[in-house]
A and B are shown apart, each in its own frame.
Chain A
Amino acid sequence: MAITLTKFHIIKVLFQIERNLTGLHYDMRSNALKWKTMAQAQTPAVTVIRQFMADAGASYQTRLEWVRAYRDGSPNWTAVRNVYTALGGDPAEATTLYAEMKVIADQLVAQAPALSNYSQIVAACDQISAAVQAPDSLWPE
């Protein structure tokens, strides 16, 4: 006997998507600021920082892929969309948010291996932090 699928289960997934995407927004910016600080301090080595950046880009892609895979593969996606709509959200904006962050993740993975000095790392981090504004927060982040 299977457990009945309820709105509780759908809301759990919706909140996971919310936490994943808004958390990813925060991580993209905060990690860029930390890598910039490392590059300005010139420690650790350029090769280590750029590996951090490439690995983080891959992690960002993983987190985004979770959302895409559920959207394209779960029979319950329509129910998630309906709950989001009932809360006043437009599913199209979630798609836009996904696409915006996917561009940044993909660029990070593609470009990080070519960074060869601290100045280039600082410039790359500045590009990320310019593209990813600080998310609203009640407390300092």
Chain B
Amino acid sequence: MALPQGLNLRGSLAYVTDAGDDYAVYVGNRDYPLTSTQGNNVGWEANPGDMLNRNSGIDARLAGIHYRNGSAINLRIDLPATGNHNVRIAAGDASAVAATKVELFDTTSSLGVLASAGASAIASGSFRDATNTEYSAANWPGSNSPSGPHSFSTTICRFALGGTANFDILAHVYVEAAGGGGFKAAWARNNTVLGAGVVL
């Protein structure tokens, strides 16, 4: 297992092409355990509800959504090792106003709420990052910030989605070792114009 690991949440695999660090979670390929192309065990630990394609003309990480109405559910990434990690998220909807609540857990220990926005609080076509800052779909790829470093004492990283009375929405999550893989990860994250052609 190795990091970084991104998960792109959408309705179907072929809708867009994922970049090298990213793996698609979609209808029929959803439940933990899935072994990602990058070699990590990942997936939803319960049914998220709806999984939709939204806009194939924007960054692949933002092209689709999964959403949850009701008790929180966990999107899990098994880490190669304990220690400090940074995370990124995109919470929003390319095609509609959105709400979200995304909380990070080290197994069952909360490491904090990454993003929180009530009903219709996120503009259509915009996304909250891991610091709860909102960007347009055009600006999120180059401007979103990580949250961290977060100290994991276990190897189970969970992004909990939902737990409010809203339809809480998530498009993308990403985890990397803090202080490791820095240049590659940062460079690739912030140069998405190169897309799948990026040389790692």
A residues near B, CB below 8 A?
19-20, 23-24, 26-27, 30-31, 34-35, 38, 41, 43-45, 48, 51-60, 62-63, 137, 139, 141
Contact with A along B180-200 (1 / 0, CB 8 A): 000000000000000011111
- Interface SS of chain A: helix
Q: Which residues of B contact A31 (CB under 8 A)?
A: 35-37
Contact A43 B35 (CB under 8 A): no
- Interface SS of chain B: loop
CA distance A53 to B31 in the complex (A): 21
Contact A58 B39 (CB under 8 A): yes
Judge if B1 is at the interface, Cβ distance under 8 Å: yes
Query: Which of B1, B20, B28 contacts A48 (CB under 8 A)?
Result: B20
Contact A63 B35 (CB under 8 A): yes
Contact with A along B6-37 (1 / 0, CB 8 A): 00000000000000100000001101011111
Query: If A53-B39, A55-B38, A59-B41 touch, does A23 touch B33 (CB 8 Å cutoff)?
Result: yes
CA distance A134 to B37 in the complex (A): 17
Query: If A27-B34, A51-B2 touch, does A44 touch B39 (CB 8 Å cutoff)?
Result: no
Contact A54 B37 (CB under 8 A): no
Contact B197 A43 (CB under 8 A): yes
Q: Which residues of A contact B20 (CB under 8 A)?
A: 38, 43-44, 48
B residues near A, CB below 8 A?
1-2, 20, 28-29, 31, 33-41, 78, 196-200
CA distance A116 to B37 in the complex (A): 19
Q: Which residues of A contact B40 (CB under 8 A)?
A: 55, 59
Contact A44 B200 (CB under 8 A): yes
CA distance A24 to B29 in the complex (A): 11
Q: Which residues of A contact B31 (CB under 8 A)?
A: 19, 23
CA distance A24 to B28 in the complex (A): 13
**For A20, A58, A139, which residue has the most chain B Cβ atoms within 10 angstroms?**
A58
Q: Which residues of A contact B38 (CB under 8 A)?
A: 52, 55-56
Query: Which of A23, A24, A43, A55 contacts B39 (CB under 8 A)?
Result: A55
**For B29, B34, B196, which residue has the most chain A Cβ atoms within 10 angstroms?**
B34
CA distance A139 to B26 in the complex (A): 13
CA distance A60 to B37 in the complex (A): 12
